[in-house]
Amino acid sequence: MNENETINETIAGIVDEFSLFDGWMERYEYIIELGRALPGLPAPAKTEGSRVKGCQSQVWFQAREENGRVYFEADSDALIVRGLVALLLRVYSGRTPAEILATPPDFFEEIELGSHLTGNRANGLHAMVKHIQGYARSFQEKAPAG
């Protein structure tokens, strides 16, 4: 993530990237490539406590707060899902809790991905976003009043 880029600029960049592809096979291949490039999590971090409930695939998220920003690391056992995770991390990691909570994942509709996901994957995507928002809420509640 580019720290100087706003969340909306990041989303616009993703939408632009996906507009370059002619068909859905190319988009899926790109998502798989994003999944392959995702650093993932070491095995000890893949615990039941870090697993996202509601996903058909195994998905694990970890979050930490630094200087008022939330940083995520995540992994999945399915390449397509890893690619979706990579997109979510690109948008939400390194943002303030307020930015995360104020930005719904509408960009998945903008890139026409929502309509091309199976029901189970769409439910899993929703579960991952809820997980990210849950972390953001908990960090926001822990923040000192300013």
Domain extent listing, the chain: 7-142
pLDDT at 114: 67
Is 55 catalytic? The answer is yes
Q: What is the pTM of this model?
A: 0.92
**List 14, 34, 38, 55, catalytic entry:** 55
| Spatial distance between the Cα atoms of 125 and 23, rounded to a whole number of angstroms | 21
Positive/negative CA dihedral, 69, 74, 79, 85? negative
Q: Which fold has domain 7-142?
A: Sufe protein. Chain: A (3.90.1010)
Whether the predicted pLDDT of 119 surpasses 90: no
Cα–Cα distance measured from residue 74 to residue 108, given in angstroms and rounded to the nearest whole number: 19
